[in-house]
């Protein structure tokens, strides 16, 4: 089997899944946040933070790859917690956008800081070329796998 054979990659992919689950990476990062919030709610906050701008509910759902009602349910809890707010869309006064509050931005930032810190530490000894190549190929693999699975 060559190194490019999917069967040769399967053990490493399975091991990665095991490492992520057993290390409780998400749970540990959520503890770092310092706020009681569920995973989907945190994903909404991170999605808004990564977008860098307010988004419509449908845009959040699309980026999270879920349906709009799923996001709406979590937005109510996030609003009550003071982590997001709805604002008028300047391009369409009838529509609403969701934006992070200062507190919500801080929560998302602390989560990302923890995750990026652990990932950064894991590849700290890598060359810049290896880091660039890994990032490029990982993105390509995820995009291509997702596109293939959508077609099936």
Q: Model confidence over 103-150: pLDDT tens digits?
A: 999 999 999 998 899 999 999 999 999 999 999 998 898 888 888 887
> Is 60 exceeded by the pLDDT of residue 2?
no
pTM to 2 decimal places: 0.79
- Least confident stretch, 8-12, 47-51, 67-71: 8-12
The pairs formed by 47-50 with CB atoms below 8 angstroms and a separation of 24 or more are 48/84, 48/98, 48/99, 48/100, 48/104, 48/108, 49/100, 49/105, 49/108, 49/109, 49/112
Partners of 54 in the beta sheet?
none
């Amino acid at each position: 089997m060559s190194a490019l054979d999917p069967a040769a990659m399967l053990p490493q992919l399975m091991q990665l899944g095991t490492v992520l689950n057993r290390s409780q990476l998400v749970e540990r990062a959520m503890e770092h946040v310092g706020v009681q919030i569920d995973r989907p709610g945190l994903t909404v906050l991170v999605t808004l933070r990564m977008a860098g701008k307010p988004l419509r509910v449908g845009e959040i759902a699309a980026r999270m790859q879920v349906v709009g009602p799923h996001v709406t349910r979590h937005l109510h809890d996030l609003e009550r917690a003071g982590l997001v707010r709805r604002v008028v869309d300047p391009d369409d006064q009838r529509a609403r956008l969701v934006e992070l509050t200062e507190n919500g931005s801080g929560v998302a930032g602390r989560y990302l800081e923890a995750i990026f810190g652990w990932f950064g530490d894991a590849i700290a000894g890598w060359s810049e070329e290896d880091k660039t190549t890994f990032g490029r190929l990982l993105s390509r693999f995820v995009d291509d796998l997702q596109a293939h699975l959508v077609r099936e």
